[in-house]
Chains A and B, each alone.
Chain A
């Protein structure tokens, strides 16, 4: 059986009944664990980004970047920031090309919610901002782990009044 692309476990959340009665979703997530497989992560990245997910490995992501027709292997170290955003730090030798790559990402990410180039010229991901238009409200993540083949994000926010 194929590995699930997305797995959610231990989910606690509230659903707005008034919105649901109008057939709209307003889901406030309090806690849970989100696991993304390599396929899941690759499919969630905007297709306008010249990136392919090669592998999720402990503490790092191995990506391939199409840099003006030339394919480059890139190692990215995701890091959870105190703001709740996830910073994707370019590592290895490719870090030397970071300003050029970031310029390319900045060009392709214009107008994409939740993905932008933050402080220190690094790519940053805001899951809450990505999911908000779908009626899903996330607390800031409290943990981020990468293991062979999957990425795991933990949420443990305060109780949300209904």
Chain B
């Protein structure tokens, strides 16, 4: 995957009301109906730097096959999260958002 954030495939719609709001600077309303997005490790680290407290070290992330490792420092102590879960599925339902480990291949 090349560096950066890549939209591999997306589709969206703006309704007449949404466009009216957008053009009159009264808000926006976009309906996304398809999204396939890739974020490279480098881009992920750029975004994580934004989460760092003022003057503090930023969390860092490493992504490899089926594994996400996030390291950060809190009050001088190292905190590491190692997710060896293969992948994630994000499910949307009336109950809310559910993040489930495991990819579509059941890993």
Q: B19 near A6 (CB under 8 angstroms)?
A: yes
Closest-by-CB residue of A relative to B17 is A2
- A-side contacts of B4, CB under 8 Å: 14-17, 162
Among A1-15, those with CB < 8 Å from B are 2-15
Give the A-B contact count at a CB cut-off of 8 A. 88
CA distance A17 to B49 in the complex (A): 11
- Say whether A161 faces chain B, with CB atoms less than 8 Å apart: yes
Q: A8 near B49 (CB under 8 angstroms)?
A: no
The main secondary structure of chain B at its interface with chain A is mixed
- The answer, among A10, A14, A16, A22, for a CB contact under 8 Å with B11, is A10
CA distance A6 to B15 in the complex (A): 7
Q: A5 near B11 (CB under 8 angstroms)?
A: no
For this complex, 9 residue pairs linking A to B, each with C-beta atoms less than 8 Å apart, are A4-B31, A7-B12, A7-B13, A11-B7, A11-B12, A13-B7, A16-B5, A162-B3, A162-B40
- Minimum-distance CB pairs A-B, first 9: A162-B4, A17-B43, A4-B13, A15-B5, A5-B19, A11-B10, A17-B46, A6-B14, A21-B50
User: Which residues of B does A touch, CB under 8 Å?
Assistant: 2-20, 23, 31, 34, 39-40, 42-43, 46-47, 49-50
